Amino acid sequence: MILISNDDGYQAKGINSLINIVKDYDDVLVCAPEDARSGFACAFSATTPLVLNHRYHEKGMDIWSCNGTPVDCVKMALAELCDETPRLVIGGINHGDNASVNTHYSGTMGVTMEGCMKYIPSLAFSICDYRADADFSPLEPYIRDIVQRVLRDGLPKGVCLNVNFPKVDTFKGVRLCRMSLGTWTNEVRKCNHPRGYDYWWMVGSYQNDEPEAEDTDRWALDNGYVAITPTRIDVTAYEAFDQLKDYEQ
């Protein structure tokens, strides 16, 4: 079967659009958070008991929710709900992009990284549109094509796909990209509560630190292309070995 999760919650339009797109390829098992879990990355619940709720069943489809993180959902599904190893693990469709350094914060990518760490072909889909009622219909032929290719050809061991769609009426095409270097600035906003204490919101503005680099995911999205970024589990900086070789004793 195909295992699907997200970080926007099991009722989000994005995940339900994804279910409708891929359900023709195989049975679908959904295990997704009870509600929004954006920004949870690869976090899992070490001190909170987890609960599963069965939300929907029809032939070839089961939908479950979990009170934990996106990674919890994948772990619980693999341990408790799957009779066999899924053919794919898919995260999304996320409301909001997960390009550049957002990859490291994304619960959607947490889903995909967890699947990849279990050696299951895994991919994530996101769109640069945060609206709850975002239009996902233009994504359908692209998602179908990518899913078909991964089902047919698989992916290299330890590699998953981070796929991001721009918010445009018509996509110019598809680009295979590297992750752009970027920085979040002005991330904390201080407010004063009427009861007399201070509190803070995590907000921020994204800054592309290499706007002229045309081989990045951010450039592709800013110029109307679908960005596919192969993403590795192994984060070793091999290029730094020569510089750091004197550290060995």
The residues with which 185 forms a beta bridge, in sequence order, are 205
Q: Which amino acid is at 159?
A: V
Mention every residue, 6+ apart, whose C-beta is less than 8 A from residue 46: none
The pLDDT assigned to 137 comes to 93
For residues 53-58, average pLDDT: 96
Q: What is the CA radius of gyration of the chain?
A: 19
Q: How far is C-alpha 61 from the geometric centre of its chain's CA atoms? A: 21
The pLDDT assigned to 174 comes to 97
In this model, does residue 17 exceed pLDDT 90?
Answer: yes
In this model, does residue 39 exceed pLDDT 90?
Answer: no
Give the pLDDT confidence of 184-205 residue by residue, as tens digits. 998 899 999 999 999 999 888 8
Helices (H) and strands (E) in the chain, counts: 7, 13
Task: Lowest mean pLDDT of 21-25, 35-39, 126-130, name the range.
Answer: 35-39
The pLDDT assigned to 38 comes to 86
The pLDDT assigned to 62 comes to 96
For residues 12-16, average pLDDT: 96
Give the pLDDT confidence of 96-111 residue by residue, as tens digits. 999 999 999 999 999 9
In this model, does residue 36 exceed pLDDT 90?
Answer: no
In this model, does residue 4 exceed pLDDT 90?
Answer: yes
Give the pLDDT confidence of 157-174 residue by residue, as tens digits. 999 999 999 999 899 999
Which pTM was predicted?
0.93
The pLDDT assigned to 218 comes to 96
The pLDDT assigned to 248 comes to 86
pLDDT band of 81, cuts 50, 70, 90: very high
Nearest to 50 by CA among 37, 33, 38: 33
For residues 40-56, average pLDDT: 94
The residues with which 52 forms a beta bridge, in sequence order, are 66
- Residue 222 DSSP SS3: helix
